[in-house]
Structure 1
């Protein structure tokens, strides 16, 4: 028995090492609408559901794509990627939605249903790469007219839209996106306590939905943050950064409570982005078609502020840590017209569960 005792004592840690790590499938449901800022024009509504897994890319096309990208950016294509799937709908309207006539000097009516897949890969603790592909339906088949009528009647109690027969026509939308994000570091505070963290990024998108190049800065004020700020991964990524936030796992330590509540985690986020836009189907219409369109601008800027609340000591089944996020975004004027349009703004609320 004396000889067996050391072996028996070593069994629990050995079994723990042999047991498979618990897998989580985070999800996020986002509702964006300009009703939050008492408006109803331009980009007016977006809904999206997203879910993610950490896994190895197993498809032959996925492997070749990731290997090709990683050869250029120094990542390991054989590592687990955070693969995020997204299904959503976007809609755009002119300022006066009660006018059934064409409005050539205002934002065209337009909508899109889409599916998007993101691959988030770590290059190091302070650098990441995101590869994204999107396929969508643009035009009446995207059902934006029906969705806006339902939202206005049953959710926001807004006037019935009258001009959807003027919308951009049907098309298959395709877009590929590549983003590289690098840490700037901790600007204020202690990395092991409350701190202001930051990162910068560039992003290039090409396709018949949007063709553009962007550069931006992300900031987050929170407790015990990972070195790399990945931006709001729950937002609608056709207009923002990556999807589900891929945080390093950090235990909740005594004194990390938000607002004096030990069970609550909170963080403030901010993002500034400048984009050079060569083509935007929602403003320029479809290629080779006489769609409603406006004189779009090349340079567009977005600024956003957000508040994220999470319950780090709880798990929502196999989905992960529950959270809710509120965000306000303002975008500079995107086009020129006889009646100069001002900046547009909208709010967003996202609920879901994240990687613990």
Structure 2
């Protein structure tokens, strides 16, 4: 369980104060696209949260759009949310379409053990509204989707394993049944400290808190994220410590004229009341295992930015997510963002 989804991996990382900002005006581009792939192949395993892929679009500040545009109206409609539209904050919106695959330890078994991670395919659409201030960011998320055969995760994994001549997953007939997903979430981050390391290197540290409510994830998390690098821009690097595929590394910052490279890392703890890929569906009977009430996570990554592109590669690790888990969940993340 990529408890990357466990609480869906620390939501939207955020942005903060002006370190050596090499970014151009966020109004000089038409938004940013991000393609993300998460997979456990780099870890040598094929279980729990085994694959995720998605595409995200992040707007520039909504007040830079025409008054009649959908993006601006959407941001204004969200002004009832705390911090959104407040003095000192600018609003950004993002949409993500993603698919996840969760499998047990032995994918060659047609009837996996009942005490192992159930097969689960998930497809969802995320909308995130960001309120970004000088030293803090607040992100409000709405997730709608489906778990079950309708996600087509079984077909995608079977096709892919055949294409690369890997073991055929035999147990998708036992996957969680179709059930709609509705989840809301919040993430807040605050720039705690920052400093310089020589002429062009700098660092920053900030705590991140998040909470979710719904039949995908219900719980809360608290973490600490840090980044050190060369020509850091006014946005966090990569996809570390975030929920889903929300490309926070492009929120409020545009293309950069020179190379920016950073190393990021973080740790987090989650209190989990319900996590669908483990605890099963809510309204229909399904396979399930009891998720651990407290789960830890650590992540490391490297981000490189140049002109219209942002590239990230990272690795995420989890403590045991359920009592009878055969192997701890870990996976690699690769993402590429570009500005239009």
| Matched-pair contact (CA < 8 Å) for 2:150–2:178 | yes
Distance 1:290 1:59 in 2: 40
Is the aligned partner of 1:302 residue 2:308? no
In the superposition, the TM-score normalised over structure 1's length comes to 0.79
| Matched-pair contact (CA < 8 Å) for 2:231–2:260 | no
CA-atom RMSD in angstroms: 2.6
1:280-329 deviation per Cα after TM superposition (whole angstroms, max 9, x unaligned): 111111114321001210111111111112223xxxxxxxx212211111
Is the aligned partner of 1:186 residue 2:194? yes
Shift of 1:77: 7.3
Distance 2:283 2:128 in 1: 29
Distance 1:322 1:64, change over 3 A: closer
Match for residue 91 of structure 2 among 76, 81, 86: 81
| Matched-pair contact (CA < 8 Å) for 1:138–1:171 | yes
Is the aligned partner of 1:132 residue 2:156? no
Distance 2:214 2:87 in 1: 25
Unaligned runs of 5+ in 2: 1-25, 64-70
Match for residue 70 of structure 1 among 51, 68, 83: 83
Shift of 1:153: 2.1
Is the aligned partner of 1:246 residue 2:246? no
Alignment of 1:1-356 (within 5 A): 21-54=27-60, 55-56=62-63, 58-59=72-73, 63-70=76-83, 76=86, 80-122=90-132, 124-154=133-163, 156-186=164-194, 189=197, 193-225=200-232, 230=236, 232-233=238-239, 237-238=243-244, 243-246=248-251, 248=253, 264-312=259-307, 321-337=308-324, 340-354=325-339
1:219-262 deviation per Cα after TM superposition (whole angstroms, max 9, x unaligned): 111124356x6463588723x8763433556975xxxxxxxxxx
Shift of 1:266: 1.4
Distance 1:78 1:268 in 2: 29
- CA radius of gyration, larger in: 1
How many residues align structurally? 307
In the superposition, the TM-score normalised over structure 2's length comes to 0.82
Shift of 1:214: 0.6
